[in-house]
Amino acid sequence: MVLAVNGLGKQFDGKWVLEDVSITFEPGRIHGLVGHNGSGKSTLIKILAGYHDASAGEVTLDGRPINNAGPAAIRDLGIRFVHQDLGLISEFTAMENLGIGGVFSQQSGRSIDWKKQALRLQSVIDGFGSEVPLDVAVGKLSAVQRSLIAIARAVEVGDGGGSPARFLVLDEPTTALEGPEVEVLFGVIRALAESGIGVIYVSHNLRDVIELATSISVLRNGELVNTFFDRKASYESLLTAMLGEHLVSDETPNLDAFAVSRLQAQGGASSARLTVRGLRSSLLRGVDLDLYPGECVCVMGLSGSGREELIYALAGSTPSLSTSMTLNGAAIDALSPLTWHEQKIALVPGNRMPGSSVKEFTMRENLSLVSLDQLRLGFRQLDRKAETSMVERWASRLEILPADPEYGTRNLSGGNRQKVILAKWLQADPTTLFIDEPTAGVDVGAAHKLLTELRQIVGEGRTLLVTTSEVGDVLAVADRVLILHEGRVSQELVRGRDEFTESSLLLAMNQNIGEATTMTSSTGGTK
């Protein structure tokens, strides 16, 4: 029983996001699938799951084509998925969650034999060698217990016929897990593979993949770069395969001298624009920050490190606590969206985040939303002419396409939408900007324009705090980089002081994980 993709391709809006990918997944093996954001690995998984149709090539199970079969048929064939968010309903017990996986739906009309179901689920969980209570709302369980339930649900046979699980696809399964929990999960994954299930393990955490997988396929820009067989992949070889030849982008501006001189100029906390001590939130466990005028600080970290939450917690839009905070030298309680305007602070969410833009609005309406008071005529009337020319100004400065203020935001491409969001906040003339994932889902040209603009506004003396998972962004704009790990800053890299390359940053980010694995490279800073 072999699962294979042959010459697989997928096109979105005329652009190939996956092209001519051929991989063979074998039963009883753990096959790693790695690649950076936008490499096409999610697309590949979605085609396997029957969620997308392939634009080219085919998926075969034992030589029989199964692509375009649809999710239900794929499940019946024994190909199962555990997605990153697990797809569990926190208020339901493990038993009830079993019902959402399609197991109960196949016997609709008949009442559920809970006892039988419980026994069967229990036997699967027992096989994992781990205690998981089945009658407690899963929201009350630990992260690893939830993962095990999701996996148990995926490999569970179900009543309605269909094949037992043959292949299990795990997408970023360790995101929410901590050290020892990861080991528990790995134990279960290895046991599943030994029982004959082919595991496809998708992750951007190279150390996890190296530890687990016997074969590893690397995707880059929608193409298969290489498949390493028989545990022959090393950290460096994977990294090189993932990043390609251009380890250091030639577009990187030379900011070294700039950063160093300013660092020396920074006398102490007194000149800081914003200082934060002990910032805590659901993912953050005490982060200290000092942000200075005219610098761009980038924050990196793997999923779950707190990187994705930092600016929202800092800006007070997600519940958080800090022991102290000062703005321009004066102590403040906390930041909140209601006070940003007076404090000249802006939070620019990534364009795929809830809270970034109103899809139903035109470009004009989104762009002016925080500066409506600048456009006031008598009787609180909006100055539509001024509004339109304001939008046109930004459209030409940031090269927003189409440059039509009345264009629907819904129809803008990710990059153009991101430009609108940035323009919206720049129009309010903030001194400090918190920016999340400025180039996620943004094409290369737009990303370059955005990053150039960010560099320019730093030059104007503004303070930028950028959280990103794109190393390229960091190389293009950062003066300093903070690496987050488990909710704390684990390392600081300063341009001009520390080695500041794509590999040194990736290394720093991955260094905290899988400490046991021997590392041959010793680049990177202090830990």
Partner 1 sequence: MSSVAARVKGSLGVRKIGAIYVWIVLIAFFSLVNSTFYEYATFTQVLNQYAITGLVAMGLLLPLAAGLYDLSVGAVLGLSSMTAAWVLVNVTTNVFVAVLAGVAAALIVGVLNSVVLLVLRVDSFIGTLATSSIVTAAVVALSGDNVIAFEVFGDYGTWLGIHNIIGLTMPVGLLLIAILVIAYLLERTGYGRRLYAIGYEEEVARLSGIRVDRMRAGSLLASSALAGLAGTLAAAAVGAGDPTVGPEYLLPAFAAVFLGATQFRNGRFNPWGAAVAVLLLGTGNVGLILIGAPTWTPNIFSGALLILAVALTHGGRGGKRALKKQISEGSADAGAAEPAKVG
Chain contacts with partner 1 (rule: CB under 8 A): 12-13, 15, 17, 37-43, 46, 51-52, 84-85, 172, 175, 281-282, 303, 308-309, 312-313, 317-319, 337-341, 347, 349-350, 352-361, 365, 368-370, 372-373, 375-376, 380-382, 414, 436-437, 440-443, 469-470
Q: Are 325 and 276 in contact (CB under 8 A)?
A: yes
Nearer to partner 1, 89 or 370 (CB): 370
Minimum CB distance to partner 1, residue 50 (Å):
13
Question: Which residues fall within 8 angstroms of residue 141, CB to CB, at 6 or more apart?
Answer: 94, 132, 133, 149
Minimum CB distance to partner 1, residue 200 (Å):
16
- Of 246, 57, 80, whose CA–CA distance to 157 is shortest? 80
Minimum CB distance to partner 1, residue 2 (Å):
25
Nearer to partner 1, 180 or 354 (CB): 354
Nearer to partner 1, 10 or 495 (CB): 10
Q: Which residue matches tokens 């940003």? A: 340
Minimum CB distance to partner 1, residue 25 (Å):
19
Instruction: Report the distance separating Cα 429 and Cα 503, nearest Å.
Output: 35
Query: Side by side, which strands form the sheet with 215-220?
Result: 79-82, 167-171, 198-202, 30-34, 215-220, 223-228
Sign of CA dihedral 503, 505, 506, 511: positive
Nearer to partner 1, 63 or 378 (CB): 378
Give the 3-state secondary structure of 103-142: CCHHHCCCCCCHHHHHHHHHHHHHHCCCCCCCCCEHHHCC
Where residue 426 falls (left for φ over 0; alpha for ψ -120 to 50; beta otherwise) is alpha
Minimum CB distance to partner 1, residue 482 (Å):
17
Instruction: Report the distance separating Cα 311 and Cα 211, nearest Å.
Output: 33
Q: Are 102 and 142 in contact (CB under 8 A)?
A: no
Minimum CB distance to partner 1, residue 475 (Å):
17
Minimum CB distance to partner 1, residue 376 (Å):
7
Classify burial at 465, counting beta carbons within 10 Å of its beta carbon; exposed 0-12, middle 13-18, buried 19 or more: buried
Nearer to partner 1, 266 or 343 (CB): 343
Q: How far is CA 58 from CA 2, 72, 156, 165, 442, in A?
A: 14, 18, 27, 21, 28
- Of 86, 79, 75, whose CA–CA distance to 5 is shortest? 79
Nearer to partner 1, 257 or 332 (CB): 332
Minimum CB distance to partner 1, residue 283 (Å):
8
Nearer to partner 1, 134 or 348 (CB): 348
Nearer to partner 1, 295 or 365 (CB): 365
